[in-house]
Amino acid sequence: MKVDILVAEIGSTTTVVNGFNGIDTENPVFVGQGQAPTTVVEGDVTVGLHAAVDDFKKRQDWSEITYGKLLATSSAAGGLKMTVHGLVYDMTAKAAKEAALGAGANIHMVTAGRLRPSDLNKIMTIKPNIIMIAGGVDYGERDTAIDNAEKIAALDLEVPVLYAGNVENKDDIRMIFEAAGKKDSLYIVDNVYPKIDLLNVEPARKVIQDIFEKHIIHAPGMEHIRDMVSGSIIPTPGAVMEASKMLKAYLGDLMTIDVGGATTDIHSVTEGSEDVSRVLISPEPVAKRTVEGDLGVYVNMRNIVSLIGRDKLTTDLELPHDVVEELIENHVPIPSDHLQIKFVERLAREAISVSASRHAGGFRTLYGGGGKKTYAEGKDLTGIKYIVGTGGACTRLPNRIDLMREITKNDLGDKLLPNDDVEILVDNDYIMASLGVLSIEHLDSALKLMLKSLGLALE
């Protein structure tokens, strides 16, 4: 049987393959899904990818399968590890970090100012997939970024380096990397912070994903990925962001929640309200991603239990203390009986509430010569019209809609959270990441498939 496009989501433990037909027609169709363990540790991720395709074929009861194109997202082999180095933490370093996170990177280090010997040692230990240098508004401070570029170019690392700082430094940065014999590893884009209070993160985001696609084949176990993948390959969180931006253009301001076993990711795509923007201390990107590495419902389950507190958890679950302790000690990655599901739903509710609160900005009262004034800082989510749930917890748990609605119930007046009239949508087919990478080459079909998965009609 023939499938127009297969999209593989290569995770750290599981590889999922989604099949789509009718691409570039009026009625694209989600055919089905297959999965298998990821085989990074075996040294060749395509072994698991072939197994996932075989599972897809078996689930469809097909004896054979052909496909026109294979696209992929990946968070295997540690995902996209990046270090980011700017001038001032709250300005250029923050802007560079926003660009990297929005592209789907895992940020392992952020520095502000000149790199010290200990910083360079840490970079060597991390062995990032990409190093990003920023610093200085256009035609502003130059020396810090140049000094950092010289130190990074001298490192014994064959790593792509992205420069996204003061435009005046471009020629100097090129000369530094040419002198070090590394001109082919250097990428230069527009400044992520060209003027005071102006963010320009999208050019850097796009190039980060391009670099990832070009260099992912050098990651351990990923060397043969191009033997199968014939189309785009981008980081899985970056693919969810692409799908979120695609939906924002059609539906309006939204946020996407993905509660996983190890982390909780939140993507918001919104300009915020005019009232808040007038008192905002520093700019925020339209498309923002945060990842909470301590909030996962399996790997980091005990972190969430500690946040809730065992006594409160026992009260909330309305279960005896010894039953709750047993659920904690015998926790499973995929709940099956009603007590396990009840336990995971409570964990997910906490992960969603805390992650949303951390993602959202808030109001601050400052005192000056003119008296007391209220300002806003951080991301304004008050204009959000839709909350979209993807990932296992937000698409498969029975009370997933109520869990996501918790976001609107925790505003004590100081947080810029969505209002209670927000609409909750669920990625029922669990294909949002796949459609994010599909949207790069087939935007119209990706949008139609996404709306179907959300239970919405294309108007």
In this predicted model, what pLDDT tens digit does every residue of 269-294 receive, in sequence order?
A: 999 999 998 888 888 999 999 999 89
Q: Is residue 258 part of a domain?
A: yes
Query: Where does the pLDDT of residue 247 fall: very low under 50, low under 70, confident under 90, or very high at 90 and above?
Result: very high
Least confident stretch, 89-93, 340-344, 381-385, 433-437: 89-93
**Which of 231, 264, 288 corresponds to the end of one domain?**
231
What pLDDT was estimated at residue 38? 87
DSSP line for 160-194: -EEE-S-GGGHHHHHHHHHHTT-GGGEEE---SS-
Q: How far is CA 62 from the centre of its chain?
A: 34
pLDDT in tens, 355-396: 999 999 999 888 776 778 889 999 999 999 999 999 989 999
Query: Based on the domain organization, do 89 and 60 belong to the same domain?
Result: no
pLDDT in tens, 102-158: 988 889 999 999 999 999 999 999 999 999 999 999 999 999 999 999 999 999 999
Per-residue pLDDT at 40 exceeds 90: no
Q: Is residue 449 part of a domain?
A: no
pLDDT in tens, 425-442: 999 999 999 999 999 999
Q: Is 135 left (phi over 0), alpha (psi -120 to 50) or beta?
A: left
Query: Where does the pLDDT of residue 261 fall: very low under 50, low under 70, confident under 90, or very high at 90 and above?
Result: confident
Per-residue pLDDT at 317 exceeds 90: yes
Query: Where does the pLDDT of residue 163 fall: very low under 50, low under 70, confident under 90, or very high at 90 and above?
Result: very high
Per-residue pLDDT at 224 exceeds 70: yes
Query: Based on the domain organization, do 108 and 8 belong to the same domain?
Result: no
- For the entire predicted model, the pTM comes to 0.90
What pLDDT was estimated at residue 410? 67
Query: Based on the domain organization, do 186 and 251 belong to the same domain?
Result: no
Distance CA 134, CA 388 (A): 33
Query: Based on the domain organization, do 129 and 184 belong to the same domain?
Result: yes
Distance CA 138, CA 97 (A): 18
Mean pLDDT of the residues in the chain: 93
Structural element, H or E, at residue 15:
strand 14-21
Q: Is residue 358 part of a domain?
A: yes
Q: In this structure, what CATH number is given to the domain that contains residue 400?
A: 3.30.420.40
Residue bearing tokens 């399968």: 65
What pLDDT was estimated at residue 355? 95
Query: Where does the pLDDT of residue 412 fall: very low under 50, low under 70, confident under 90, or very high at 90 and above?
Result: low
Range with the largest mean pLDDT of 47-51, 93-97, 385-389, 411-415? 385-389
Distance CA 280, CA 362 (A): 10
What's the total number of domains in the chain?
Answer: 3
Domain carrying residue 409: 237-301+348-427
What pLDDT was estimated at residue 308? 96
Q: Is residue 446 part of a domain?
A: no
Q: Is residue 324 part of a domain?
A: no
Q: Is residue 399 part of a domain?
A: yes
**Which of 201, 231, 261 corresponds to the end of one domain?**
231
What pLDDT was estimated at residue 411? 63
Q: How far is CA 434 from CA 378, 414, 446, in A?
A: 30, 36, 9
Task: Kindly provide the b/e burial profile for residues 364-385, where b requires at least 16 CB atoms within 10 angstroms of the residue's own CB.
Answer: eeeeeeeeeeeebbbbbbbbbb
What pLDDT was estimated at residue 387? 98
Give the mean model confidence (pLDDT) for residues 44-61: 93
Query: Based on the domain organization, do 172 and 51 belong to the same domain?
Result: no
